[in-house]
Amino acid sequence: MTSTMRAIVIERAGGPEMLRIRDNWLKPTPENGRVLIRVMAFGLNRGEVFTRLGYSPGVEFPRVLGIECVGIVESAPGTSFEKGQSVVATTGGMGRSYDGSYAEFVSVPAPHVHEVETNLEWVQLASVPEAFHTAWGALFSSLVIKSGQRLLIRGGSSSVGLVAANIAKKFGVSVLSTTRDESKSDLLGRFGAEHVVIDNGKIASTVKKIAPDGVDALLDLVGTSVIADSFSCVRRGGVLCIAGLLGGEWEIANFAPGSAIPSTTKLTYFSSSSTPLSKEGLKVYLTGLEDKKYRIPLDRVFEFEEICEAHRYMESNRAAGKIVIKVV
């Protein structure tokens, strides 16, 4: 067995051109309690752009990025996994505290690896792990969404936004989704949005025309840059969950809670890195994808060698859904 592999390595923070393919990067050594995965494909995430730019605290370079992947178990000492099993993996420090999935192999702590049985193609499956993990967790753990409620998804054309709308609609929730690009409106409708709101940064007045008292729940994937306006969209006693940072800002600037947060309205946060993936939910979702009950949130597939182009495409905000890199 060879001791090296192909990997996409970033040696210092910067633009997409900093992502360079190395043909002789050291292959991870199987360790007790970890799963060595032969990566078949992986999805891109906005957080990887932040890490590439040097904005992720504690990340040291050189580093192989990538917080999710799909593939085949190569070895898994001290775990219940067996060689040859098909798996998905998400977070667990991947691509940040240790080398991630932008490679032919990745070693992931067993709790963050999940066996799957599916007839989806690898690139289709690769659109699922992180988007599903965040959408399902935010909907049912943070927002505790219920049938009959009104949900607003801010950042609706992202992969998480599309998956969340699709799932919420099937659970009897009335969905409003936002996009900055009017040409994506039809896509949002196909994924379950009953109302599409064009987001110019100030959408509260438009939302109130649809839901005069405000929505019951708001899944904010844009993040802190629009939080005050997002709170204005939520009814008293409702819930706002931040689960993304598409707006590119980590901290809340010029924010006065007493005037910005309606009385009794709640603010919560969902982090896939610190919240376990719902295995039962994943089974339900994958079965739904196979049965075409849900729609595959895949936007575009790039080859391994096209990683720089893929990052540029992600940063252009043209994608509507998941960008996937095919490894094998």
What CATH number did the domain enclosing 214 receive? 3.40.50.720
For the record, the structure tokens of 221 come out as 């994937």
* pLDDT given at position 275: 94
CATH, residue 32: 3.90.180.10
Residue 288 lies in a domain: no
The verdict on 55 and 73 lying in the same domain is: yes
Residue 41 lies in a domain: yes
Q: What is the DSSP letter of 71?
A: E
Is 92 exposed, middle or buried (CB count within 10 Å of its CB: 0-12, 13-18, 19+)? buried
Residue 106 near residue 38 (C-beta atoms within 8 A): no
Its pTM stands at 0.95
Residue 135 near residue 151 (C-beta atoms within 8 A): no
* pLDDT given at position 261: 86
Range of the domain at 309: 4-127+296-326
Q: What is the DSSP letter of 140?
A: I
Around 153, how many Cα atoms within 13 Å sit in the side-chain half-sphere? 34
The verdict on 108 and 220 lying in the same domain is: no
The verdict on 153 and 255 lying in the same domain is: yes
The verdict on 191 and 254 lying in the same domain is: yes
The verdict on 201 and 235 lying in the same domain is: yes
* pLDDT given at position 8: 98
Domain closes at, from 224, 251, 269 = 269
* pLDDT given at position 250: 67
Please provide the distance, in angstroms rounded to a whole number, between the alpha carbons at the two ends of the chain: 18
The verdict on 87 and 177 lying in the same domain is: no
> Smallest Cα–Cα separation from 110: which of 77, 67, 74, 133?
77
Regions of the chain short of the pLDDT cut 50:
none
The verdict on 73 and 194 lying in the same domain is: no
Task: Dump strand ranges (E) for 126-207.
Answer: 150-154, 174-179, 195-198
The verdict on 30 and 80 lying in the same domain is: yes
The verdict on 118 and 193 lying in the same domain is: no
Residue 164 lies in a domain: yes
Residue 314 near residue 323 (C-beta atoms within 8 A): yes
Residue 104 near residue 84 (C-beta atoms within 8 A): no
Residue 210 lies in a domain: yes
Task: Please give the tally of structural domains in the chain.
Answer: 2
| Residues 237-266: tens digit of each pLDDT | 999 999 998 877 767 777 778 877 888 999
Residue 230 lies in a domain: yes
Residue 56 lies in a domain: yes
The verdict on 165 and 225 lying in the same domain is: yes
The verdict on 221 and 313 lying in the same domain is: no
The verdict on 168 and 208 lying in the same domain is: yes
